[in-house]
Amino acid sequence: MAAPPRIPRGGEACSVNVEGREVRLTNLAKLFWPDLGVTKADLLQYYADVGGALVPHLTGRAMVMKRYPHGAAGDFFFMKRAPSPRPEWIRTCTIEHRSGNVIDFPIVVDLPSLLWLVNLGCIDLNPWYSRCDDTNRPDFLHFDLDPGPGAPFPRVLEVARILRETLTELRMPTFVKTSGSKGLHVYVPIRRTPLQKEVWTVAKALAFELAVRHPHVITAEYRVAKRPRGRVLVDYNQNAWGRTLASVYSIRPRPDATVSAPVSWQEVDAGVAIDDFHIGNVPARVREIGDLWAGLLEGERYDLSPLVDALKPVRKRKDPEA
């Protein structure tokens, strides 16, 4: 792999040749984390450094932009439509919503398109779970583990281990990462057969099953006010159509520039912490151990169809007889 490009640290703006594309980068000296002395150039350099591991996880997926043009502590706004003007080599994904709205989302396919997106003020990257060629059939089932008030991070680790046990019993491959914010994300690679809604149904059923079996540490309660204190929410609704999570290797707009970092289950057992992974140490970790989540894209994929079928209302279920 080619060495990552060097991002100029000074000057207002510049044009950098990346993999044969001219990428215009702006406001390079602007402090995105004033307390850390971390600039927009540092943010771009980080993504250039981890791009080899990150880009495969984004490529071909519509991106929801969460833009922080005034830094991590500044106001942000969501944007779905790829802004114009833009380089002619930025690809888009056209998705029609049920309301009739048609949105042209940008797609990341390589390092130039990634850096173009980051330069817009995107601190974290938010890809769809499905690829653009079939936006209603996701590649993953996932579990968003959110600690509620009074739930310390080690309780999230505990819930993740419980979840892993359940998924392993079902023979599902599992991958875990810190969210970089408060919790953990567990992903299961699936064959691209069920619709997003069907994947959501499976996530919901498993979330409630877990909450019933481990009521002292897990909740799947929809209403905030009804969630018991000190529990970890299995936020199955994150599997709904059109929703996104911050990707692996995303820097989060948090005070310490923490990163959503892939971790091994051994590290979960040993006890990681959110602030173990940040803009300052993740590039070296990736150089040393590579992409712990490569198997999510390249490895075996689980066939969710039997589970989907089993959860259908009896009348609609495929009759196993005759």
Which residues in this chain contact DNA in the complex, by CB under 7 A?
A: 13, 24, 26-27, 30, 40, 64, 67, 69-70, 77-81, 83-85, 97-99, 101, 103, 119-121, 144, 197, 200, 204, 222-225, 235, 237-238, 240-243
244/265 with CB nearer DNA: 244
Q: How many residues bind Mn ion (CB under 5 A)?
A: 5
- Select from 144, 198, 256, 291 the one that contacts Mn ion (CB under 5 A): 144
User: Reduced to 3 states, what is the DSSP secondary structure of residue 8?
Assistant: coil
- CB neighbours of 93 closer than 8 A, spacing ≥ 6? 61, 62, 104, 105, 106, 107, 132, 135
Work out what residue 237 binds among Mn ion, DNA, none; the CB cut-off runs from 5 to 8 Å by kind: DNA
String marking each residue 152-191 x if it binds Mn ion according to CB under 5 A: ---------------------------x---x--------
143/200 with CB nearer DNA: 200
Work out what residue 183 binds among DNA, Mn ion, none; the CB cut-off runs from 5 to 8 Å by kind: Mn ion
Each as own residue / partner, the long-range contacts of residues 67-72 (CB below 8 Å, 24 or more positions apart, any chain) are 67/120, 67/121, 67/122, 68/32, 68/121, 68/122, 68/123, 68/253, 69/120, 69/121, 70/121, 71/30, 71/31, 71/32, 71/33, 71/34, 72/32, 72/33, 72/123, 72/253, 72/254, 72/255, 72/257
90/233 with CB nearer Mn ion: 233
User: Reduced to 3 states, what is the DSSP secondary structure of residue 65?
Assistant: strand
List interacting residues with Mn ion (CB under 5 A): 144, 146, 179, 183, 235
